Amino acid sequence: MKKEFLRTGLKKYFSPILFLMVIAIFSSTTSKNPGFITKPLSSPPVLSNIDNIVLEEMALQEIVGCAVGVVKNGNIVHVKGYGYMDLEQTKPVTENTIFRWASISKTLTAVATFKAIEDRKLTLNDKVKDKVSYWPSTGDKGNITVAHLLNNRSGIVHYGENEKKVKICSYNKSAYKSFNNFNAEQAVNVFKDCKLAFTPGTKYLYSSFGFNLLGAVVEKATGVPYEQYVQDNIAKIAGMTNLKPYANDPGGFTKNCDDELIPVTEGVVEWKLPSGGWSSSVYDMTRFLEGLIDGKFLRNTSSLWQTVANNSSYAFGTYRTDYGSTIYVQHGGVHNDVRTYLSFFPGTKNGVCVMINGASYVNRERLARKIDNAMGFINWSSSNVSPLPMDYCGNSAACGDGINGVWRKTNNTDMLIRKGYTHDNFYKMWNGLIKLGYHCADFETYLDGNVRKWDGVFKKGASGSAMWRGMDMNGFNTKWQQMNASGYRLIDIETYLDGSNRKWAGLFIKSSEPYALWRGMTTSDFGTKNTAMANAGYKLIDIESYMDGQVQKWAGVWLGKGSYLLNRNYATSAFTSLCNSRNAAGWRLVDVETDMIGSERKWAGVWEKSSQPEYYQFGKKCCDFIGKHQSYLNAGFELIDIGRY
CATH number (domain holding residue 97): 3.40.710.10
- Cβ neighbors of 365 (< 8 A, separation 6 or more) are 332, 341, 384
Tell me, yes or no, whether 8 and 130 share the same domain: no
Tell me, yes or no, whether 12 and 156 share the same domain: no
Give the pLDDT confidence score for residue 3 in this predicted structure: 32
- Contact call for residues 328 and 320 (beta carbons, < 8 A): yes
- Contact call for residues 341 and 32 (beta carbons, < 8 A): no
Number of domains within the chain:
2
d(C-alpha 502, C-alpha 305), whole Å: 64
Residues in the chain: 645
| Helix segments in 119-274, DSSP class H | 146-150, 184-189, 208-222, 226-230, 236-238
Give SS3 for 190.
coil
What tens digit of pLDDT does each residue of 238-273 get? 999 999 999 999 999 999 999 999 999 999 999 999
Query: Given the DSSP bridges, would you call strands 565-570 and 600-609 parallel, antiparallel or unpaired?
Result: antiparallel
* pTM, two decimal places: 0.91
| Helix segments in 224-276, DSSP class H | 226-230, 236-238
Widest distance between CA atoms in the chain: 103
Tell me, yes or no, whether 61 and 127 share the same domain: yes
Last residue of a domain, one of 375, 401, 422: 375
What tens digit of pLDDT does each residue of 367-381 get? 999 999 999 999 999
Give the pLDDT confidence score for residue 434 in this predicted structure: 97
| Helix segments in 250-317, DSSP class H | 282-294
Tell me, yes or no, whether 85 and 187 share the same domain: yes
- Cβ neighbors of 187 (< 8 A, separation 6 or more) are 176, 212, 215, 216, 271, 272, 273, 274
Residues of the chain with pLDDT under 50: 1-40
Is 426 within the bounds of a domain?
no
Is 327 within the bounds of a domain?
yes
Range of the domain at 6: 2-32
Tell me, yes or no, whether 93 and 126 share the same domain: yes
Give the pLDDT confidence score for residue 47 in this predicted structure: 92
d(C-alpha 641, C-alpha 404), whole Å: 8
Last residue of a domain, one of 314, 345, 375: 375
Q: Name residue 486's beta-bridge partners.
A: none
Give SS3 for 419.
strand
C-beta neighbour count of 165 within 10 angstroms = 9
The single-letter DSSP state of residue 463 is S
Cα distances (angstroms) measured from residue 340 to each of 238, 260, 267:
19, 22, 17
Tell me, yes or no, whether 28 and 165 share the same domain: no
Cα 326 versus chain centre, distance: 28
